[in-house]
Chains A and B, each alone.
Chain A
Amino acid sequence: MALFRTSFICLLIVAMASIAQAGTLENVKKDGFLKAGTHIENPGFSALDSNGKRVGFDVDFIRAVAAAVDVSEVKYTPLTSKERLPALQSGEIDLLSRTTTHTMSRDVKLGLDFTVTTLYDGQGMMVRKELGIKDAKELDGATVCLQTGSTTELNISDFFRKNGMSFTPVVFDKQPDVRKAYDTGRCDVHTTDVSGLAAQRSLMEKPEDHIILSEVISKEPLGPVVRHGDNQWSDIVRWTIWLTMAAEEKGVTQANVEEMYAKSKDPEVQRMLGKTGSLWTDLGLDKGAPVRIIKTVGNYGEIFDRNLGPKTPLRMERGLNQQWNKGGLIYAPPFR
């Protein structure tokens, strides 16, 4: 089945007559919905809530883009990590928001464009507390559960090779199966991005029995991806994300956005929210887009807190994902 699905997506690449390179915006508006790819199940990032609605950090950026282009509906395609890139290449989806690491080869060779890094992450390792391990260097000979088709596999191999240690990988197609295998004791170590580990830990039988080691073995800048060649579309995705970041910096929130639009004296806030200037119409959107985006998903801080922050089961700290003026890397270019 996995073979079948990947083959099918691949067949789309082969069979589809070149769909228009430009004009993703027009196509989305014509369809009346946004075709977006995301996780099957990764709590905090993309999962179904108790009402069957898809929610999460990655999902919020999809919803923000949908709000920007003013379509009310999103068609989500749940993808495994090896299906995600072909799905975008083939045109099955127009936006991929699924904790995808920005790497040079993906950017250069695969006909893709990485937009803005929404989460600065790194690969970590989770072990059972009872093993009494404090340092990743003590893991020589361990069995490691991980998911196939991601940078994870290479990073962990590099880490063990670099430190002259050996390990046995057990590789699964889907993240829930990795978790199940680790949770039942098949492996000593569960490895993926630290954020993903937090998400998976929240689903374990006894989350408090597991610790995430402090060693971070790679840089994983994660963010939405679009097809290469449609600059207008990638600009829309970029500036939608930057708007949420700038909104946090300027104190614009989901609750006060309309008030700020009406009353703010800050000229940048006025330009950013489309009250003055023509930034958003130049991008091909309408003047109401920025207010709509913030009303739908809130600012970056709100998105983070709602899905990943200390009050969620993931209990993640902002860390590198703090605003630039508070010691983090979240930095939106000026709206002018």
Chain B
Amino acid sequence: MSERLAPQDKVPFWRSPQGRAWMFQLCMVGAFLWLAVSVYRNTLANLETRGISSGFGFLGNEAGFRIGEVTGIPLPQGGLLWFLLSLVTGLVVSQLISRHLKSKSERPMNSTWLSVCLLFSIGLPMLTLYIFRDSVEIAHYTESSSYFMALLTGLGNTLKVTVIGCVASTILGLLVALGRLSPNWLLSNICRWFVELNRNLPVLLQLFFWYFIVLQQLPNVRQSIDLGGWLILNKRGLYLPSLVPQQGAWLFCAAVVIGLAAIWVIRRRARRILDETGVPVKILFPSLAVLIALPALAWLLGGQPFTLDFPALKGFNFKGGTGMTPEFTALVVGLTVYVSAFNAEIIRSGIEAVSKGQREAARALAMNERQVMRIVILPQAMRVIVPPMTSEYLAIAKNSSLAVAIGYPEFVSIGGTILNQSGQAVEIVGIWMGVYLCISLLISFGMNIYNSKVALVER
């Protein structure tokens, strides 16, 4: 065919498949832009003809309302900014060093370079933290803060629930999935019912159930369940003693962080030795030693890092200490239980997707059941599990907005308050959409990175 075309008879741009594809794409983009611009202009015109003021200037106004539950937002103030900056610098520098070494040789970096990297990524931030230790501030929302701070506080509360919900629902989901796969008839059927019940009831109903039916059965404040001040449980929540940082706290925290980093290095080394020589290295005791020895040393040097603040009944409620409100508990428990049912099914299907031969082969190598699951089955099941799991994590982030029904002050609830006070409906809804989009994209992004790590590597 191709010989028939003389070179000068080249297919014109608009008739070639690529050219057409481009043209259609451009048309689509153009149409989309036109739509976006006209919606924007239409909105502005509508707002103006109705005499509704618009713009984001209101975000700076004083909020004036109180929020029941405030997650401290580490706003970059004073030394915190420098700490974050040095943390990022340190991580970037060590990443650059590691890239550079990798491109030069296949071998993992030697201990000299490793210590340089650690110095940059941990030492540098610690140094700034030490220098600026008196000026690190964590911004707390009060009534006189701005609407912007109020929204940020709501976002903090949302993220808190999302992160805890994702982790907890994964663990619970895994347990239920393993239970369903268990040969034990009773266990397997309990898990089946757990899944069916949770999957088939609306999540809002479940939240109401946990909040209004389960948690409100707890005793009143004055009849609290009290374990000597260490744990107090009543309708208003769960109270525990809180840690109050003292002078030596920063040193203690630094020691814990360094200890954890050291364990990570020890693990990597053990792994490398296992891969290269086949000799398993026991790391439990050295890890524990590091994790206990370093903080203990810091304790001796810096004095007692924390004191305990016990909750005590004063007036209407328990004051002091820390704890969880029923709203937070109901939301986390409700979302976790609901999503874990889906997660269990995803994990189960992932495990069942691994061919039986793999399991038999692993047993033939004299692995015990735990090893079979951990080393052979789960890594292969991950490929099937991770993509649908991403949607479940997104579901947690989005369903956390149902909290407005059970009184937990999260992003949508606080946005709603601001919406009503300022009347800036379009702006607030815009912010809602933008923020949830960002959260969703971040979760997707993270999960996609993880997915590419666990995906089948074709060599």
Q: A residues within 8 Å of B by Cβ?
A: 1-3, 6-7, 9-11, 13-18, 21, 81-82, 85-86, 89, 105-106, 109-111, 139-143, 145, 148-151, 153-154, 156-158, 160-161, 167-174, 177, 180-181, 184-186, 188, 227-229
Contact = CB atoms under 8 A, between A and B. Distances in A.
A1 to B, nearest CB: 7
B394 to A, nearest CB: 14
Contact of B406 (A161, A168, A172): A172
Nearest to A138: B315
A174 B416 CA distance: 12
Given A14-B426, A174-B405, A168 B68 contact: yes
A2 B212 contact: no
Q: Which 4 A-B pairs have the closest CB atoms?
A: A149-B420, A111-B50, A141-B315, A184-B216
Interface in B399-449: 401-402, 404-407, 409, 412-413, 416-417, 419-423, 425-426, 429, 432-433
B66 interface: yes
B419 A172 contact: no
Given A140-B315, A188-B316, 10 more contacts: A13-B52, A85-B423, A110-B53, A142-B317, A148-B416, A149-B420, A169-B66, A171-B68, A228-B51, A229-B49
Given A7-B433, A18-B46, A170-B407, A86 B53 contact: no
A157 B432 contact: no
B392 interface: no
A281 to B, nearest CB: 29
Interface in B37-83: 39, 42-43, 45-47, 49-53, 64-68
Contacts of A18: 45-46, 49
Contacts of A86: 419, 425
Interface string B223-253: 0000000000001100000000000000000
B421 A185 contact: no
Given A2-B412, A188-B316, A154 B327 contact: no
B334 interface: no
A167 B236 CA distance: 13
Interface in B1-60: 39, 42-43, 45-47, 49-53
A10 B426 contact: yes
Contacts of B304: none
Contacts of B43: 13-14
Nearest to B419: A82
B139 interface: no
A2 B405 contact: yes
Contact of A85 (B68, B143, B417, B420): B420
A105 B423 contact: yes
A102 B404 CA distance: 25
Contacts of B401: 2-3
Given A10-B426, A172-B405, A180-B212, A185 B68 contact: no
A228 to B, nearest CB: 5
A326 B192 CA distance: 70
Contacts of A228: 50-51
Given A6-B419, A170-B407, A181-B407, A157 B50 contact: no
Interface centre among A21, A142, A174, A186, by most chain B C-beta atoms within 10 angstroms, is: A186
Contacts of A172: 404-407
A298 to B, nearest CB: 33
B314 interface: yes
A171 B419 contact: no
Contact of A2 (B236, B416, B426): B416
A27 B349 CA distance: 57
B157 to A, nearest CB: 12
Interface in B379-409: 401-402, 404-407, 409
B416 A173 contact: yes
B136 interface: no
B173 interface: no
A186 B426 contact: no
B42 A17 contact: yes
A10 B429 contact: yes
16 contacts: A2-B401, A6-B419, A9-B425, A14-B46, A18-B46, A85-B425, A110-B53, A139-B316, A142-B317, A143-B316, A169-B65, A173-B413, A173-B416, A180-B212, A185-B220, A228-B51
A109 B420 contact: no
Contacts of A145: 407
B405 A6 contact: no
A15 to B, nearest CB: 7
B316 A142 contact: yes
A105 B424 CA distance: 11
Contact of B68 (A150, A170, A177): A170
A161 B212 contact: no
Contacts of A156: 66
A16 to B, nearest CB: 7
Interface string B316-347: 11010000011100000000000000000000
A51 B439 CA distance: 46
A145 B235 CA distance: 14
A167 B66 contact: yes
Nearest to A105: B423
A185 B218 CA distance: 10
A166 to B, nearest CB: 9
B52 A110 contact: yes
A53 B148 CA distance: 43
B405 A141 contact: no
A17 B50 CA distance: 12
B122 interface: no
